[in-house]
Each structure stands twice: as C-alpha cells, then as structure tokens.
C-alpha cells in the first residue's frame, strides 16, 4: 500500500503543471504574464509608455520609473485575471533584473520580491536578453538548444550561441550604438521622429535601398562585433553635405539605404557565425527583430544555407513578460533561485548570474 501511494504521488508530481508569474519593467513597458510549463502563455499584459516618451524624443528614465510605479499592480492584476489564476496557484515568480534602466528595473524587482515574501513563492531573477532569446521557444515548440541567435533592440546588439537552456556565449556585440539606437538617431535626423525602428521600416518601403552607399563597418580583429556609430555619422554627414550644397535629399531613399546597410551587416555577421559554428538553427530576437527588411533578408540567407530560421511574432519581439516567464521556467527547473536581496543590475552581462 505504502509503495503504491508513493508511486502515485511521484506520478502526480511529474504531471504537475508549473505556473509562473513573470514581471518585466526594464525600459518603458510595464509587463506581466502567466505561463504554463514555460512555453504556454496564459496571459501577456503589456502597458506601453511610448506616448509619454515620444514627447521627449526618447525614453526618460525618471518618467519611465514613475509610470512603472503607477502601472505595476494593475498590470500584474490583469495578467493573473486573464490567465484565470490567483497568486496561490503559482509555483514561482520570475522578474527581469537586468540589463536595463536601473529605476524602471527596481520597480519590477521590488514588487516581485514583496510578492514572494508575502506568498512564500520562490523568486527567479531573469536576464532580459535571455528572455528575448527565449521568446522564440514560445511559438516554436520544436526549437531546442543548441542554436545561434541574434538579439537586436534599442539597447542591445548581440550575436549569441545558445549552448543549452540558461547557457549562453556572446560571440559578437556592438562596440558603440545598439542597432535600434542607430535607427532612433537616424529617424530623428531625417525628420521621422520616435520610435525610429517602425518609422524607418515603413518609410524604407517607398525608397530605393541602393540610392546611397553607406559604409558597412568591420570592427578590427573581431569578426562578429558590430559598430553602428560610423554608419550613423555617414548618414548625418550626407544630410549636412546636401544642406550645404543646397541639394535635396529623399527621406525614403535615406531610410531605405541606411536600413539596408544595417541589415547587410547583421545578416553578414550572422551567416559567418552559422558557417563557423555549423549551426542548423538560427533565431532572431529583440525589438529590431520586428523589422520587415531584416526578417526577409535573414529568411532568404538562411534558406540558401538550409538553416531553419526562427523569429518571434512582433508582440513577442517587443519588451514583454511572456518571454521572461519562458526563460524563468527553464531557470526554475534547473533549480535556480534568487534571494530577497536580488538587486537591479543595469549592465548585467549575458550568461551572468547574480
């Protein structure tokens, strides 16, 4: 009898679903999500502050922090309600603790820790970029490590080898501006405004990507590193020269040619990495992974090589908590736990654990 009971208990345990509440507040989106067993998203609530930051031409950290404080509980409440679960049904709480803006990060981290203290639930600190990469797991049930990934957003440009769940090696990174940052700066210079990514993407569709020849920077010895500030300067120089000569420039052509230069470098570096490391799977992630030209170029380049190409839907490319829940799940089953002194780490390195 006793043995039988033990066995059935064990079976129950292996069948038990893992429910995680995830919280993300690293930049200008307050987000919460409930996920089941890592890849099944029961809710994905995102409050975007973009309207308020648009007034300032970019994210203002203090304003973002204040907005997070106002929205954090309503967003968590909505995520739980949509998932039809209560705090008592959860197995853990995952939260982004870096990298990102320290003020915004602290709101999510502090709230998550308080929820854990009050409920007794385990806390899991999650790396924001690991979250972005993990967004690919959600819609691709067959995707498993190892694979190569390119993370491109307003704050990050990383070429990464995903060795296993929770195990990453950064093989290329930007030396200066992030790809998304370059989009924002160029968009401002050519009068498109903030946020630059989607606006350039749209304008570029009407322009000629070969109208202007902007540089594709190589960074010294490091084949996989990126540099976008030279490209940005080249665009600004071109605009200045036109102005001085009294010549007109075409917004759509500048947008398309700039975007082509960024995409070429990203594709080139990614394909070199795939060749060098021999991966058959490649994923993109981060806000810039929504860019239609980048997606199309990566898809074509991967198809040529017979490499499977993965990319999240736009809603999972933007900052969201579903991806944090997914990454947090794999941390959870690996036994990773954070303590109540978990701090926000604005420059947290990929693969690092606090």
| Smallest distance, another protein to C-beta of residue 9, A | 28
Which contacts qualify for 118-122: CB closer than 8 Å, 24 or more apart? 119/87, 119/88, 119/90, 119/93, 121/87, 121/90, 121/91, 121/92, 121/93, 122/91, 122/92, 122/93, 122/332, 122/337
| Smallest distance, another protein to C-beta of residue 86, A | 10
Q: Which residues of 38-68 are buried (b: 16+ CB within 10 A; e: fewer)?
A: bbbbbbbbbbebeeebeeeeebbeebbbbbb
Coil/strand/helix, residue 90: coil
Coil/strand/helix, residue 17: coil
Nearer residue to another protein within complex by CB, 61 or 209:
61
Nearer residue to another protein within complex by CB, 115 or 301:
115
Q: Which residues pair with 285 in a beta bridge?
A: 151
Nearer residue to another protein within complex by CB, 299 or 353:
353
Nearer residue to another protein within complex by CB, 56 or 277:
56
Nearer residue to another protein within complex by CB, 78 or 140:
78
Spatial CA neighbour of 322 closest among 18, 35, 62: 35
Nearer residue to another protein within complex by CB, 120 or 335:
120
| Smallest distance, another protein to C-beta of residue 66, A | 7
Phi, psi at 126, each rounded to 5°: -120, 140
Nearer residue to another protein within complex by CB, 35 or 76:
76
Coil/strand/helix, residue 230: helix
| Smallest distance, another protein to C-beta of residue 55, A | 8
Positive or negative: CA dihedral 135, 141, 144, 150? negative
Spatial CA neighbour of 133 closest among 323, 352, 279, 300: 323
Tally DSSP H helices, then E strands, for the chain: 12, 10
Nearer residue to another protein within complex by CB, 70 or 164:
70
Rounded to whole angstroms, the Cα distance separating 182 from 177 reads 6
Residues at the site binding another protein, with contacts judged by CB under 8 A: 55-56, 60, 62-63, 65-66, 69-70, 72-74, 76-77, 87, 102-103, 106-115, 117-119, 339-344
Locate all alpha helices (DSSP H) within the chain, ordered by sequence: 2-15, 50-54, 61-83, 102-119, 128-139, 179-189, 196-204, 229-245, 251-277, 292-305, 314-317, 322-333
């Amino acid at each position: 009898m006793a043995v039988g009971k033990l066995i059935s208990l064990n079976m129950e345990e292996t069948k038990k679903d893992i429910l995680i509440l995830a919280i993300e507040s690293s930049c200008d989106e307050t987000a919460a999500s409930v996920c089941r067993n890592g890849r099944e998203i029961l809710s994905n609530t995102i409050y975007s502050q973009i309207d308020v930051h648009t007034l300032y031409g970019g994210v203002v950290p203090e304003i973002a922090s204040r907005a997070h404080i106002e929205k954090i509980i309503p967003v968590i409440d909505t995520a739980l309600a949509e998932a039809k679960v209560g705090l008592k049904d959860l197995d853990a709480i995952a939260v982004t603790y870096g990298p990102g803006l320290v003020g915004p990060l602290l709101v999510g981290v502090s709230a998550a820790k308080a929820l854990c203290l009050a409920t007794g639930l385990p806390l899991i600190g999650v790396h924001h970029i690991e979250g972005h990469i993990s967004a690919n797991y959600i819609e691709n049930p067959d995707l498993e490590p190892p694979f190569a990934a390119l993370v491109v957003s307003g704050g990050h440009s990383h070429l990464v080898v995903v060795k296993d769940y929770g195990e990453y090696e950064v093989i290329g990174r930007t030396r200066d501006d992030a790809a998304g940052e370059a989009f924002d700066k160029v968009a401002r210079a050519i009068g498109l405004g903030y946020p630059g990514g989607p606006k350039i993407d749209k304008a570029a569709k009407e322009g000629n990507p070969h109208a202007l020849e902007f540089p594709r920077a190589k960074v010294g010895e490091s084949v996989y590193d990126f540099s976008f500030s030279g490209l940005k300067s080249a665009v600004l120089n071109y605009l200045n020269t036109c102005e001085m000569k009294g010549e007109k420039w075409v917004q759509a052509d500048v947008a398309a040619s700039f975007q082509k230069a960024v995409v070429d470098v990203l594709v080139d570096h990614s394909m070199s990495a795939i060749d060098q490391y021999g991966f058959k799977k490649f994923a993109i992630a981060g806000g810039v992974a929504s860019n239609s030209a980048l997606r199309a170029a990566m898809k074509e380049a991967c198809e040529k090589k017979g490499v499977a190409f993965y990319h999240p839907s736009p809603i999972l490319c933007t900052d969201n908590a579903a991806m944090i829940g997914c990454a947090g799940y794999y941390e959870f089953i690996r036994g990773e736990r954070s303590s109540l002194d978990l701090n926000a780490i604005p420059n947290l390195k990929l693969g690092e654990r606090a």
